[in-house]
């Protein structure tokens, strides 16, 4: 897939993951691999985490485990609203590509 990559969604997906639980950069990369089929490099993940931290959306403990801040929660809520408006017809998109969601985020074509 060349026309539509996930670059624009990286910060959103990081915030989304951290809304579920605190995670290391490596754990975030593994989840992104599950979503897109290939694991993003540390050169992709850590600059994004650094930017989110500088914006006050995430924090990191001494072990580099990242957590969502209250500001990050608000930002994610706003982003979810925007994506909901943009992708209001997501069920139609799934049927268009014959994608079925199974339990635990697994997909079947």
Which residue would you say has higher pLDDT here, 76 or 84? 76
The mean pLDDT value of the chain amounts to 82
Around Cβ 33, how many Cβ atoms within 10 Å? 12
CA gap 38, 33 in Å, rounded:
5
| Helix, strand, coil share of the chain (percent; to 5) | 60, 10, 30
Please state at what angle helix 70-86 crosses helix 10-20, rounded to 10 degrees. 120
Angle at 12 between CA 8 and CA 18, to 5 degrees: 150
Mean of the pLDDT values across residues 3-16? 73
Give the model's pLDDT for residue 89. Answer: 73
CATH of domain 7-108: 1.10.10.10
């Amino acid at each position: 897939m060349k026309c539509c990559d996930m670059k624009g969604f990286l910060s959103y997906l990081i915030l989304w993951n951290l809304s579920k639980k605190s995670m290391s950069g490596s754990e975030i990369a593994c989840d992104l691999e599950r979503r897109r089929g290939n694991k993003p490099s540390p050169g992709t993940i850590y600059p994004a985490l650094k930017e989110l931290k500088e914006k006050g959306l995430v924090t990191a403990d001494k072990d580099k485990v990242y957590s969502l801040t209250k500001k990050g929660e608000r930002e994610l809520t706003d982003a979810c609203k925007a994506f909901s408006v943009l992708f209001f017809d997501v069920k139609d998109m799934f049927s268009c590509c014959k994608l079925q969601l199974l339990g635990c985020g697994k997909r079947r074509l």
